[in-house]
Chain A
Amino acid sequence: MKRIPKGEGQTGIAPKTKSIRAAFEKGMNVLFFLCGAVAVLFVLFISVYLIVSGIPAIREIGLADFLFGQVWKSTAKEPQFGILPFILTSVYGTAGAIVVGVPIGFLTAVYLSKAASPKIAAVIRTAVELLSGIPSVVYGLIGMTILVPAIRTAFGLSSGATLLAAIVVLAIMVLPYIISVSETALCAVPKEYEEGSLALGATEMETYFRVSVPAASSGIAAAVVLGVGRAIGEAMAVMMVAGNVANMPSLLESVRFLTTAVASEMSYSAGLQRQALFSIALVLFLFIMMINAVLAILLKKGKKS
């Protein structure tokens, strides 16, 4: 028997091992691609599904009557499908949440990123993280049992389930997003800018508000837009505190949002009513898409500068 030299044996095996490895690499690559494709497919599927199922009702009702009709009576003998009350409620509710939530969130972010001592900052940051983890039904529950009665007493109303209650709850719900995104933007401001300002004899507050905040402005704007997206898409909490009546919005009236309009009637809807609910979902979907587009533009702008 001829002895095979060690070296030859090894080189004989090597190419085979390599091809197995290459196949494995390729296989993993395909797997990763498929996983990534799942997200894309779902977005495409949902978009197409919403468009296909949302358009028939709009055709039948008429786009103008649907979007600008002020009366929603989906179960009446002569049903009316005007969703202007829902659109305006969603817009006002979101705007209100932003007006209340942004100043608080923004100042918290400035405080956390610039002024707070590390210990205090750690406590606040943990609280903010927990706040974002609380399920929306819990916000709704607490709003229902504490906020709604308080508003009823304060304004002498028959019911405290109002747009105002929804605004307060939404403002608290968007806080963590506004805080954490603006804080990230503020922390990314190069220290050199702040040093330059301090070296000119500016105080710390002057430095934060005249150098750091403008330098982080696109990130802060992104935080606000993210907050808008969260607020407009929220359903459960607002359903529990806003009274869920299809009124034209007013601060101290019960109102119904786009999200809650879909959620509250879906279980017993049929025919045109059911189709109209899909159309509402489509309108909501378009709102969110618009907000995401703005967000993407802002983030891109922030990266450039």
Chain B
Amino acid sequence: MQAGTIISAQDLDLYYGENQALKKITMDIPERQVTALIGPSGCGKSTFLKTLNRMNDLVPNVRIEGTITYRGQDIYMPKLDVTWLRRHVGMVFQKPNPFPMSIYDNIAYGPRTHGIRNKRQLDEIVERSLRGAAIWDEVSDRLKKPALSLSGGQQQRICIARALAVEPDVLLMDEATSALDPISTSKIEDLIAELKKQYTIVIVTHNMQQAVRISDRCAFFLLGQLVEFGETTQLFSTPKDKRTEEYITGRFG
């Protein structure tokens, strides 16, 4: 394991029933950097992302071999409290999924779940999280309005704010901008650049320009294998593997 690694996967195999979706993935994710996972559809990048906070547990018949450690802690240890893990490794989904409740209640949901009841403390967390997700100015005067009344891009930033409210360490983003228009996308990309000062970010993206713009390191997945993992500038300028080169130059995928 390299110094500055926050999450480390060792020989990770994942099966959906008989289907092997991930093959011997070994990867160290560096702290406070943006790591992008790229590759064609069905290559396993989203599956890999979901193993990092165990959202794959929700899929029936999923089987995992190998290890993943978060800050040295084996997260597939049988006794591990999954809620502890997910609190530290937060997630933003492809489709904005705010709860059907007010903006305020959306953001306060996580802290309330973890036992914070004090109104002043909650107000403070809500404001800080919304500012952190660069949406405070747009919604500060209508916190009691339903979150679903906002635009898609705003909803996604509400979801980011909601994730920030539980003070995570790592933020996983599963194609978090693919359902958004270009302006909303660029807002979220700016936000990611800001967030990486405090958080480790792992983002799955279909958009290679986006990977180049926002990520420090980039991993290329193909058919369940990690083909290449390195500095984003290096991976896009001088890829070591021929398959990476073919993919980034648009010859397949």
Which residues of A approach B to under 8 Å, CB–CB?
190, 192-193, 195-203, 206, 210-211, 214-215, 305
Contact = CB atoms under 8 A, between A and B. Distances in A.
Contacts of B166: 200-201
B73 interface: no
B66 interface: no
B206 to A, nearest CB: 19
Interface string B92-107: 0101011111000000
A214 to B, nearest CB: 7
Q: How large is the interface on B (under 10, 10 to 19, 20 to 34, 35 or more residues)?
A: 20 to 34
B113 A198 contact: no
B86 A215 contact: no
Contacts of A214: 100-101
Contacts of B100: 193, 214-215, 305
Contacts of B222: none
5 contacts: A195-B55, A199-B53, A199-B90, A199-B93, A201-B83
B16 interface: no
A40 to B, nearest CB: 36
Contacts of B53: 199
Nearest to A192: B97
B86 A200 contact: yes
B99 A196 contact: yes
A91 B166 CA distance: 47
A197 B109 contact: yes
Contacts, number: 63
A203 B57 CA distance: 13
Majority secondary structure of chain A interface residues (helix, strand, loop or mixed): helix
B114 interface: yes
A196 B95 CA distance: 11
Nearest to A191: B58
A211 B163 contact: no
Interface in B107-132: 109-110, 113-114
B55 A200 contact: no
B25 interface: no
A245 B58 CA distance: 56
A201 B85 CA distance: 7
B22 interface: no
Contact of B99 (A197, A198, A203, A305): A197
B97 A201 contact: no
A66 B109 CA distance: 53
Given A198-B58, A199-B163, A201-B83, 12 more contacts: A195-B58, A196-B97, A197-B99, A197-B113, A198-B86, A199-B53, A199-B90, A200-B90, A200-B163, A201-B166, A210-B113, A211-B109
Question: Which one of A195, A196, A201 has the highest number of Cβ atoms from chain B below 10 Å of its Cβ?
Answer: A201
Contacts of A195: 55, 58, 93, 97
B113 A202 contact: yes
B203 to A, nearest CB: 15
Nearest to B91: A199
Contact of B95 (A192, A200, A210, A211): A192
Contacts of B99: 193, 196-197, 211, 215
Nearest to A217: B100
A199 B90 CA distance: 6
Interface in B151-177: 159, 162-163, 166
B84 interface: yes
